[in-house]
C-alpha cells in the first residue's frame, strides 16, 4: 500500500511540473502519442513563468534523494544537455533546500549526547551547504580546530525504502517481460544501488571511508582528504576538518588564480586510475560539489575530496580484467578485447570472436587519436550497449559504480581542459601498473608474501604428497566402482520410466471405460466394462 501511495506521489509530481514536456512525443509510436495526448496531466497547464530546466530541478527535489542524485549525475554531462538545463541541475550538488536549524541542532545534540556549547566554541546555525542526503554546518572545536558538522536529513529512510521498492518492482517486471531484461540484470543493479544509498545514510561508514582514502593518499601532492574527528562521529552526525579551496566547477575562479588547467585535468585522471588499480578503493561520487582545488600551488594543483559516502571496490580479477581490456583498447587490439570478453564470461562461450571483434572495431575505431572535446563516453557507451545486445552481453552490477564514476570524470575533464588526451594520459599509468603486477618485482613480492605459509606447512608436505600419490593410485578402481554405480542407477531409472508408462496406459483405459459406463451411447456397455477390466488388469500386472 505504501508503494502505491509513493507511486501516486511520483505521478502527482510528474503532473505538477509537467515533466512530459521533456519527452519527445513526436518520436513515439502512434498509440503512445495518443496515450500522452489523453493523459490526465494535460489538464494541468504548463507553468509559463517557470523555466523548463527549473521545473525539472524542483521536481527532482520534491521526489527526494534518489532522484536528486540522478540530477547530480546529469549535471556533470554538459556535453549531453542544453546549457540552461546543466546549469540548473548543477544547483543540486550543494544547493538543495536545507532543513530547519533547530532540527539540525536537535539531531546533533541527541547524536553526541551533550549540548552543542559544550563541544564547540563556535557553531553556525545556518547550513554552510545542503545536499540530497545531508547538510553541513561550520563550527570550531573547543581545542581550536575549524571543522564542519555533517547531519543526515530526518525521515529519509522511509522515502528511500518506498522508492527502492518501486524500482525493484519495475526491475522485476523488466527482467520478466523485456527483451533484454535478463541480460541487463536490473534486479541485481537495483539491489546494489540499495546497498549504496543506505550506506550513505550511515556517517560512521562514510567516516571510515574518508579515513581509508586519506591513508591511501598520505603526503600525496595529488589528493588531500580532510581529517575525521572520531570522538564526535555517530551514525547521523560526523565532524571533520574544514577545508578551504576553490570548487572544481568554478572554472573562471580557477583560471583567475592562475591554475594550470592541463595539469589539473591530467591529475584528475591519474587520481582516478590510482584509486581503481593501485588501491581498489575509489571515491564513487565525484560530482563537482564534492571536489575542490587547494590554494597552495596553482601550477601543481592538488585536489581535495569530501563526501566519501559512496566508494567502490574491485576484486583482483576485476582489476586485472579491466586493465587488460583498457590496454587492448588503447592499443586498438580488438581481437584481444573480444577474447577477454569471452574468457571472462561476459558474453557466451559460443560467441564467434571474429564477429565480436569486428563489432567492437566499428564502435571504438572512431574515438582514437582525438582530443576529449571530440569524444563522448556517453555516446560510446550507447553504441557499445547496442553492440552488446547482438551478442547477449550481460550487465556486470559490480562495475555500475565504476561506470558512473567514469561519467563524472569525463564531465569534469570537459569542464577543466577540453583538449585533454585521455588515452595518452591513462595508457602509461596502466602499462606501469601491469608491469608492477606481473613483472619480476611483483613475482618476488608474491613469493615473500606466501613464504610464511609455505614454511608453516612444509613439515606436513611429505605426508600430503604420499596421500595424494595413494589417491591417484586408487583412481582407476574408484572410477570402475563409480561407473558400475552409474550403470545401476541408469537401469533403475529406465525401469521406473517403463512402469510409469504402463500405469499411464492402465489409467487411460480405465478412464475411457468409466466414461463409457456413464455414457453408453459412446460405445456398448460390455465394451466399456471390458476397458475397465483391461485397465485394472494392466495396472495389477505392470505396477
Residues with catalytic roles: 285
Q: What is the DSSP annotation of 319-388?
A: HHHHHHHHHHHHTT-HHHHHHHHHHHTSS-TT--HHHHHHHHHHHHGGGTT--GGG--HHHHHHHHHHHH
DSSP H helices in 396-474:
400-416, 422-438, 440-457, 461-473
Per the rule left: phi > 0, alpha: psi between -120 and 50, beta: everything else, 153 is beta
The two beta strands, 303-305 and 223-224, are parallel
526 CB neighbour count, 10 Å cutoff: 9
Is 130 in contact with 95 (CB distance < 8 Å)? yes
Which residues does 103 contact at the CB level (< 8 Å), separation at least 6? Answer: 154
Per the rule left: phi > 0, alpha: psi between -120 and 50, beta: everything else, 456 is alpha
Distance CA 92, CA 289 (A): 9
Angle at 502 between CA 499 and CA 503, to 5 degrees: 85
Which residues does 228 contact at the CB level (< 8 Å), separation at least 6? Answer: 207, 210, 211, 214, 238, 239, 240, 241
Amino acid at each position: 500500500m505504501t508503494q502505491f501511495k509513493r507511486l501516486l506521489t511520483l505521478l502527482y509530481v510528474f503532473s505538477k511540473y509537467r515533466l512530459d514536456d521533456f519527452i519527445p512525443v513526436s518520436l513515439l509510436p502512434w498509440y503512445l502519442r495518443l496515450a500522452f495526448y489523453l493523459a490526465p496531466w494535460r489538464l494541468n497547464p504548463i507553468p509559463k513563468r517557470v523555466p523548463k530546466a527549473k521545473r525539472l530541478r524542483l521536481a527532482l527535489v520534491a521526489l527526494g534523494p534518489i532522484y536528486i542524485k540522478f540530477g547530480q549525475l546529469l549535471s556533470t554531462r554538459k556535453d549531453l544537455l542544453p546549457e540552461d538545463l546543466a546549469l540548473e541541475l548543477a544547483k543540486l550538488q550543494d544547493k538543495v533546500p536545507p532543513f530547519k536549524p533547530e532540527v539540525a541542532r536537535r539531531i546533533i545534540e541527541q547524536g553526541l549526547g551533550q549540548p552543542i556549547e559544550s563541544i564547540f566554541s563556535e557553531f553556525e546555525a545556518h547550513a554552510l551547504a545542503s545536499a540530497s542526503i545531508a547538510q553541513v554546518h561550520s563550527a570550531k572545536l573547543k581545542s581550536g580546530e575549524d571543522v564542519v558538522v555533517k547531519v543526515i536529513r530526518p525521515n529519509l529512510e522511509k522515502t528511500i525504502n518506498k522508492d527502492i521498492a518501486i524500482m525493484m518492482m519495475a526491475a522485476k517486471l523488466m527482467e520478466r517481460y523485456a527483451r533484454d531484461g535478463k541480460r541487463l540484470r536490473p534486479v541485481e543493479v537495483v539491489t546494489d544501488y540499495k546497498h549504496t544509498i543506505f550506506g550513505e545514510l550511515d556517517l560512521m561508514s562514510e567516516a571510515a571511508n574518508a579515513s581509508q582514502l586519506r591513508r591511501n593518499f598520505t603526503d600525496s601532492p595529488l589528493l588531500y582528504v580532510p581529517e575525521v574527528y572520531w570522538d564526535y562521529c555517530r551514525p547521523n552526525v560526523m565532524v571533520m576538518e574544514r577545508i578551504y579551496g576553490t570548487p572544481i566547477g568554478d572554472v573562471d575562479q580557477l583560471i583567475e588564480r592562475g591554475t594550470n588547467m592541463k595539469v589539473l585535468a591530467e591529475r584528475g585522471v591519474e587520481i582516478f586510475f590510482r584509486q581503481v588499480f593501485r588501491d581498489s578503493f575509489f571515491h564513487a561520487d565525484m560530482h563537482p560539489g564534492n571536489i575542490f582545488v587547494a590554494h597552495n600551488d596553482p601550477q601543481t594543483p592538488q585536489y581535495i575530496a569530501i563526501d566519501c559516502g559512496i566508494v567502490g571496490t574491485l576484486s583482483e580479477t576485476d582489476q586485472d580484467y579491466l586493465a587488460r581490456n583498457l590496454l587492448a583498447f588503447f592499443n586498438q587490439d580488438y581481437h584481444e578485447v573480444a577474447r577477454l570478453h569471452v574468457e571472462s564470461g561476459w558474453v557466451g562461450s559460443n560467441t564467434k570472436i571474429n564477429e565480436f571483434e569486428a563489432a567492437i572495431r566499428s564502435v571504438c575505431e572512431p574515438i582514437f587519436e582525438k582530443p576529449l572535446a571530440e569524444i563522448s563516453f556517453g555516446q560510446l557507451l550507447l553504441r557499445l550497449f547496442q553492440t552488446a545486445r547482438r551478442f547477449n552481453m550481460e550487465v556486470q552490477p559490480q562495475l555500475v559504480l565504476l561506470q558512473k564514476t567514469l561519467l563524472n570524470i569525463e564531465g569534469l575533464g570537459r569542464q577543466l581542459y577540453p583538449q585533454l588526451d585521455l588515452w595518452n594520459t591513462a595508457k602509461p599509468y596502466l602499462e606501469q601498473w601491469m608491469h608492477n603486477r606481473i613483472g619480476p618485482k611483483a613475482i618476488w613480492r608474491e613469493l615473500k608474501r606466501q613464504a610464511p605459509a609455505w614454511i608453516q606447512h612444509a613439515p606436513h608436505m611429505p605426508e600430503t604428497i604420499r596421500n595424494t600419490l595413494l589417491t591417484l593410485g586408487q583412481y582407476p578402481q574408484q572410477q570402475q566402482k563409480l561407473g558400475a554405480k552409474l550403470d545401476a542407477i541408469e537401469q533403475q531409472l529406465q525401469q521406473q520410466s517403463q512402469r510409469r508408462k504402463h500405469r499411464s496406459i492402465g489409467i487411460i483405459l480405465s478412464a475411457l471405460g468409466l466414461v463409457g459406463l456413464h455414457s453408453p451411447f459412446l460405445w456398448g456397455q460390455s465394451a466399456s466394462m471390458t476397458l475397465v477390466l483391461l485397465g485394472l488388469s494392466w495396472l495389477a500386472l505392470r505396477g
